[in-house]
Amino acid sequence: MKKLVTICLVVAWVVSLGCKRDQIIPELSPGRDKLLLAGLAVESITHLKRAEIDEKDKAEPRALLLIAYSHALSKNLAYLKSSNLETEYLNQRNARLKTLNADEIDEIFKVLNERHRVQKSAQQVLVYKGTPVIPLIIEDFLNKRHPNAHKGFEEILTQIGSDGLEQLLTAVNADETPKNVKRQLIRVIGDIGDPVIQEKLEASKKIINDKALLTEINVVLYRLGNKAYKNEIEAGLNSDNVLVRQAAARSMVLLNKPATSKLIEALKDTDDQVRRDIVIALREHVDANAVDNLVHILTNSSSGKTKQLAVNTLEYYAEKGLTDGLAPRLINLLTKTEITNHEDRIRIVQLMSTPVLVKEIEAADPFDNLPATIYNYYETKEKNDLVKSELNTLLNELPEGEQAE
């Protein structure tokens, strides 16, 4: 009898242990990792379906399952068709979209904020859901809970499109919406590009007193076809309000034949964002007279991003034959002036190393002996290893005989 009782106890303990092991298997973690870290949507679904059953908080597994079904339909459609899974996945996605709630949307926001391999599929889920996500996105713009996702939110709102215009404009007109968020939403309205909103935007101008917001609205109205606002937008480049100048500068790339003389002057603006957008605009609205101010940006107080854009625009101008004498000018700038920031020197050397400017160096008057000037600078003055590496690359592209003279 005692032996029988002992056997029963052992069996009970084994069964109990098995149950406990079932309870502690972390189905959510492997499902999440397979989906978010590896992009293995199909492989993640089995784990996530069990997690949906086991987890007390259903929001995360349900949100991840919806992303997984959407990602699989986007990336693994051939496999789903061959495995007769396409209809099942479509039905699952559509059914889950209908029941998608605020808590689950917040979980998708977290995914977008962390930026994973399923980023576009997660965004597309919210686009499919449509206008119900708009208040939650606007709320996130206000509380900044998921700031890394905000650029993606703008794309989502743009793709939702005309159906969301009323909600966006309501938020723009609301007193409690901060001005920076209003500017953001106005730009989204412009990106949607539906002329149906023109009349209501004009009405909004009557209740908005902020000059920067009015400029943003003028830009949208111009994009929607009202070209009468062109001069008013251009005038914003000379405003004493930096936000007005930023709005105007951002729009220059969109204008039809703006006055390039105003753009060239705006390259001297005290605000880096203004200078950056003007550099971009001058790639679209080419003017050889911009070269001097573009070269000046290479060594002024502009950010590295703005300077790199200036490098790119100068290379484009050189390829168009609009920068006669740029190579010797850059060599003189590098070798005859004191440029303390080594990253500035790197960018200048990299610009000189572009094929079009290498050809200009090779074609220069032999009396100037530009390769030798570069070589002497490399040997006697430049101390930074990174700059010297770039110089060495350039020198290897030039005739060796001239370097040693």
Phi, psi at residue 352, to the nearest 5°? -65, -25
CA separation, residue 66 to residues 5, 49, 108, 367 (Å): 50, 11, 9, 70
Closest alpha carbon to 381 in 343, 337, 344: 337
Closest alpha carbon to 364 in 399, 388, 338: 399
Residue type present at position 90: L
User: Given this model, what pLDDT does residue 173 score?
Assistant: 96
Residue type present at position 233: I
Reported pTM? 0.85
Collapsed DSSP state (helix, strand, coil) of residue 270? coil
Closest alpha carbon to 100 in 121, 72, 130: 130
Closest alpha carbon to 348 in 295, 303, 306: 295
Residue type present at position 211: K
Closest alpha carbon to 137 in 162, 114, 160: 160
From first to last of its 405 residues, what are the pLDDT tens digits of the chain?
445 444 444 444 444 444 443 444 578 999 999 999 999 999 999 999 999 999 999 999 999 999 999 999 999 999 999 999 999 999 999 999 999 999 999 999 999 999 899 999 999 999 999 999 999 999 999 999 999 999 999 999 999 999 999 999 999 999 999 999 999 999 999 999 999 999 999 999 999 999 999 999 999 999 999 999 999 999 999 999 999 999 999 999 999 999 999 999 999 999 999 999 999 999 999 999 999 999 999 999 999 999 999 999 999 999 999 998 999 999 999 999 999 999 999 999 999 999 999 999 998 878 878 999 999 999 999 999 999 999 999 999 987 644 544
> What are 95's two structure tokens?
């059914």
User: Given this model, what pLDDT does residue 221 score?
Assistant: 97
Q: Find the angle CA(211)-CA(217)-CA(221) to the nearest 5 degrees.
A: 140
User: Given this model, what pLDDT does residue 74 score?
Assistant: 94
Which residues, in sequence order, are CB contacts of 294 under 8 Å at separation 6+? Answer: 267, 279, 282, 310, 313, 314, 317
CA–CA gap between residue 236 and residue 248 (Å, rounded): 5
Query: How far is it between the farthest Cα atoms of the chain?
Result: 113
